[in-house]
């Protein structure tokens, strides 16, 4: 029987970028070209943006990886992964990321990480062949 596991990792090399791909914080001129919109459609003032979304210290870089072990394998084999996932430090998903170390927090198909990381894990499991007839 083939086994699968999902790992959530902290990406120590992650660099938070703005809407134009440049490293945060964005200048007011760059922000003015493509301001962030609030839920009601109004533009978020630059100062408000800088205090939260535009603050690179508020961003956490994460990765989700999927490993597989077939009966003939002697160890886990990395099948797929998604890196450079940008999370805000107060998001529910942020608590799933083992920040500050080179560790991996492991999950299995019957218990996935919360929120967006769980959605990514489901897609990656499918891509890796989980649930396919063996």
With beta carbons less than 8 A apart as the criterion, state whether 64 and 124 touch. Answer: yes
Query: What is this structure's pTM?
Result: 0.83
pLDDT, average across residues 2-12: 93
Q: Where are the domains of the chain?
A: 3-15+58-128, 17-53
Q: What percent of the chain has pLDDT over 70?
A: 96
Percent of the chain with pLDDT over 90: 57
Could you read off the pLDDT of 69-102 as tens digits, one per residue? Answer: 999 999 999 999 999 999 999 999 999 999 877 7
Arithmetic mean of pLDDT, 50-62: 88
SS3 at position 10: strand
> Is the pLDDT assigned to residue 134 strictly greater than 60?
no
Helix (H) or strand (E) holding 85: strand 77-88
The overall average pLDDT reported for the chain is: 89
Q: What pLDDT score was predicted for residue 133?
A: 55
SS3 state of residue 115 = helix
pLDDT tens digits, one per residue of 15-46: 888 766 778 888 888 888 888 888 899 998 98
What's the start-to-end Cα distance of the chain, in Å?
Answer: 8
């Amino acid at each position: 029987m083939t086994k699968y596991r999902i790992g959530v990792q902290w990406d120590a090399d992650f660099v938070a970028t703005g809407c134009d791909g440049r490293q945060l914080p964005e200048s007011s001129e760059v922000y003015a070209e493509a301001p962030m919109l609030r839920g009601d459609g109004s533009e978020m003032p630059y100062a408000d943006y800088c205090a939260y979304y535009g603050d690179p210290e508020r961003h956490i870089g994460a990765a989700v990886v999927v490993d597989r072990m077939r009966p003939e394998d002697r160890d886990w084999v990395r099948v797929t992964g998604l890196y450079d996932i940008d999370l805000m430090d107060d998001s529910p998903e942020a608590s799933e990321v083992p920040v500050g170390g080179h560790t991996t927090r492991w999950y299995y198909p019957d218990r996935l990480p919360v929120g967006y990381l769980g959605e990514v894990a489901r897609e990656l499991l499918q891509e890796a062949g989980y649930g396919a007839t063996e």
